Amino acid sequence: MAVLGPVALTALAMGCRHGVPEGAYVIRSVQVEGVRPVEPEPLLKSLATAPSPRFLGIWDGLGFDYEIYDENLLARDLERVERYLRARGYYEAKVRAARVIELEDGRRVRVEIAVTRGQPVRVRRVFVEGIEKLPLSDGNESIAGEVLRNVQFTDCPLARDQQSCVGGDVFDEADFEATKSAIGDALANRGFAFVKVEATAEVDVAGHVADVRYLIEPGPRATFGAITIEGLEEIPERKVRAQLAIHPGDPYDKSQLDKAEDQVTALGRFSMVEVREDLSHPERAEVPLTIKLRESALRGVRAGVGARFDVVKTSTHVLGGWDSQNFLGGMRSLRLEDRFGLIYYPLRVGLFEGPIQVLPENSLVATLRQPSFIEGRTEGILRADVNVYPVLYRLPEGVDPDEERIIGFLELRGAAGVERPFFARRLTVGVTYNLSENIPLAYRRVGPDPAGLERVLVGFPQLVTDLDFRDDRLAPTRGFRFLNTLQVAGAFGEGDVADVRIQPDARVFLPVAHQITLAVRGSIGLLFPRDYGDTLDPAASASLDPASAAAVRDQAKLLFRVFYSGGPNSNRGYPFRGVGPHGPLGFLKPTTVPCEFDPPPYQPNPDVCNRPLGGLTLWEGSLELRFPIWGKLGAVVFVDASDLTRRQATFRPTSPHLSPGAGVRYTTPVGPLRVDVGYRAIRTFAADPETELSGEPDPGRVLGLPMAIHLSLGEAF
């Protein structure tokens, strides 16, 4: 059914073809010639005469209304073109031709606007007056120097004792106004709350020159005055004041006002946050502040249902939750969430057999966050999880589901730590200590329980850094994000495993055309185990029996620490955990076929022996083009690649597991609902047997094709 989704959506859009009034013409394209070096894209966006939007970038009139040619609108647009160019410094700009060309089908036209720019007006001199009223320095930095760095239009550096400089740049009205604002902001950020900047320009159109003048009246240096907070009902005022990080008597700094507003807004407790400053009394040299707030709903209940259907399992689940944003006062946030599900074993994609057993699973999570912990903008975090779940894998060909042992775990996890934002919340740093106890459960017993399958205790401090310069967190169109996670298991001698685990992840978003975004992701994972991992080591595993207690114990530890690849947020041509080393897992019932670790002469086991083993070294990369289709419906085309190896810090660029594909998106308030179809174009090249000894079986097919289908909420990255 999911495969037919894109086809059905296309057919629906084709059924929504809009009509064209009798005698009217559809605009196919609009071009403006002769405007460069002025950037034409903002100009084209400002025109009422616009090309008709196209479904999938190909067909107009499908899902979108046509843009109809109107000669009156075009006449007004010609005036807009001239005004736009004059504001960019081309005061002699004239539209010399406007051609409306009928295309071959007789229903569409191409609009071409030809422009003569003329010579630009260039800045002859820039005058900056009033600098002498500023202090010589503020610490180790010159205030005058900071002001002058914001002055545009100059080809020579202005010194403190200069009031003018030779220009040379084209006189752009937007740059002229931006410079005025930048000078004022630079001084306001240094304590001059009452600064005034006057800007004038004398333009000689005939001589193609302009003289620009900025007059600065800095006024007295100020401090912050009394801070009044209005609109609080339940939330304590002292917690809000701690978030502001501004105190009466502090030196005035305008940039701190924006940071304070962003910080309070980010708490999520207020539907309105407004910071107002009183600049009506410069003679007092202080600026009182009023913080106007409106509390949002501080308690709420959440509920939902969901389902999963892929090559690993078929399941349904219900979700319930309760949130309090002022738990026991103090602006504490408490979130309780429970997710209960049923797995219909062995029903899945490619195995349409009625369930022979229903497997329950449950996840209960409680998270307590305390703002203003230790200091104003540091947040304390406590989290407790109780999870019960089976460990399921894709069933290889030839495996009888009735003969499959199913192992699960009762997982008790806790975390405690702190998190703090920096640089206007662009950088977030979190430090936590994490402890988990994983107790094995027998979901489905076949034969005696495997020896060596015991509880696994894992403890580690964790450092997470998140540098985020995206323009939107749910649907970014530009910017970048860099994340890194560092864990050191057994750092204090606790637990059953000792290792170092590092995973950096970089994402870049670039607008490449109108409403079209190129998204790029790259990630690597490095795991350095110190007291486990023999079953992934070719030299150590060659003499091990997969069903031995030592092998089972080692694989149970690996289960909670190794990397996996494949799935909806990884390599979309593969099912979950479908990429990377495969081999026998000792805690599953051995088949009648002999299964060995790396049997000589280093040939892979039969598929019936193979399950995902995970790996110690991971790399993943994705390239995705995102574009709108119709309303809230969008689409992507993508190429994913990844690889996973058993060795420490060993990368195989020759095994890319390349997966091109496409998907559709539907925008919801909590992120896009998406369907992705990935096709396995290149699984792997020949691997060096000394590097990678376990084979990779066919990860399964859909409708006979080497592909995977994923239904998820939220972008892939």
- Neighbouring CB atoms inside 10 A of 637's CB total 13
Q: What is the tens place of the pLDDT at every residue in 415-445?
A: 999 999 998 889 999 999 999 999 999 998 8
Q: What's the number of domains the chain is made of?
A: 4
DSSP-assigned letters across all residues of 431-446: EEEEEEEEEEEEEE--
Q: How many CA atoms lie within 13 A of 491 on its CB side?
A: 15
Side chain identity, residue 629: I
- Residues of the chain with pLDDT > 70, as a percent, come to 89
2 pLDDT tier (thresholds 50, 70, 90): very low
Nearest-angstrom CA–CA distance, 386 and 367:
12
Residue 13 pLDDT exceeds 60: no
Write down the pLDDT at residue 597: 79
Residue 174 pLDDT exceeds 60: yes
- Residues of the chain with pLDDT > 90, as a percent, come to 52
Q: What is the mean pLDDT of the chain?
A: 86
Positive or negative: CA dihedral 602, 607, 609, 615 = positive
Residue 496 within a domain: yes
691 pLDDT tier (thresholds 50, 70, 90): very low
Can you give the pTM of this predicted structure? Answer: 0.78
Nearest-angstrom CA–CA distance, 605 and 602:
9
- What CATH number did the domain enclosing 157 receive? 3.10.20.310
Which helix or strand (DSSP H or E) is residue 540 part of? Answer: helix 538-541
Nearest-angstrom CA–CA distance, 361 and 345:
12
Q: Which domain holds residue 284?
A: 223-295
108 and 22, same structural domain?
yes
Residue 351 within a domain: no
| Owner of token pair 């994000």 | 481
Residue 580 pLDDT exceeds 70: yes
Which helix or strand (DSSP H or E) is residue 622 part of? Answer: strand 617-630
560 and 526, same structural domain?
yes
Q: How far apart are the first and last CA of the chain?
A: 25
Write down the pLDDT at residue 465: 98
Residue 394 within a domain: no
Write down the pLDDT at residue 1: 37
164 and 187, same structural domain?
yes
243 and 171, same structural domain?
no
Strand ranges, E, within 490-553: 499-513, 516-529
Residue 690 pLDDT exceeds 70: no
Tokens, residue 146: 């900071």
Coil, helix or strand for 64? coil
Contact 215, 187 (CB under 8 A): no
- What CATH number did the domain enclosing 675 receive? 2.40.160
Strand ranges, E, within 178-330: 196-204, 209-217, 223-230, 270-277, 286-295, 299-309, 314-324
Residue 269 pLDDT exceeds 50: yes
- Mean per-residue pLDDT for 79-107? 89
491 and 540, same structural domain?
yes
Residue 560 dihedral angles phi and psi, to the nearest 5°: -100, 0
177 and 38, same structural domain?
no
Write down the pLDDT at residue 11: 41
Q: What is the tens place of the pLDDT at every residue in 630-678?
A: 878 889 999 999 999 999 999 988 888 999 999 999 888 777 888 999 9
604 pLDDT tier (thresholds 50, 70, 90): low
Of 217, 249, 281, the position where a domain reaches its end is 217
Residue 392 within a domain: no
Contact 489, 558 (CB under 8 A): no
Tokens, residue 582: 């495969």
Nearest-angstrom CA–CA distance, 124 and 208:
9
Residue 232 pLDDT exceeds 90: yes
- Neighbouring CB atoms inside 10 A of 397's CB total 11
Nearest-angstrom CA–CA distance, 207 and 203:
9
Residue 438 within a domain: no
Residues 6+ away with beta carbon under 8 Å from 283: none
Q: How many CA atoms lie within 13 A of 672 on its CB side?
A: 23
Nearest-angstrom CA–CA distance, 353 and 43:
60
Write down the pLDDT at residue 684: 63
513 and 617, same structural domain?
yes
240 and 204, same structural domain?
no
Residue 57 pLDDT exceeds 70: no
- Mean per-residue pLDDT for 198-206? 93
10 pLDDT tier (thresholds 50, 70, 90): very low
Of 165, 199, 217, the position where a domain reaches its end is 217
588 and 539, same structural domain?
yes
28 and 164, same structural domain?
no
- Mean per-residue pLDDT for 23-28? 84
Residue 129 within a domain: yes
Residue 398 within a domain: no
Q: What is the tens place of the pLDDT at every residue in 297-355?
A: 999 999 988 888 888 889 999 999 999 999 998 899 999 999 999 999 999 877 887 78
Of 185, 217, 249, the position where a domain reaches its end is 217
- Mean per-residue pLDDT for 575-594? 80
Judged by average pLDDT, the poorest of 5-19, 100-114, 567-581, 694-708 is: 5-19
Residue 517 within a domain: yes
Residue 559 dihedral angles phi and psi, to the nearest 5°: -55, -30
267 and 165, same structural domain?
no
Q: What is the tens place of the pLDDT at every residue in 456-485?
A: 999 999 999 999 999 988 788 999 999 999
Residue 688 pLDDT exceeds 60: no
**Which range scores top for mean pLDDT: 17-31, 228-242, 401-415, 453-467?**
453-467
- 360 versus 155: the higher-pLDDT residue is 360
155 and 88, same structural domain?
no
- Mean per-residue pLDDT for 389-394? 91
Nearest-angstrom CA–CA distance, 120 and 171:
8
Residue 15 pLDDT exceeds 70: no
Asked whether the bond before 604 is cis by omega within 30 degrees of 0, the reply is no
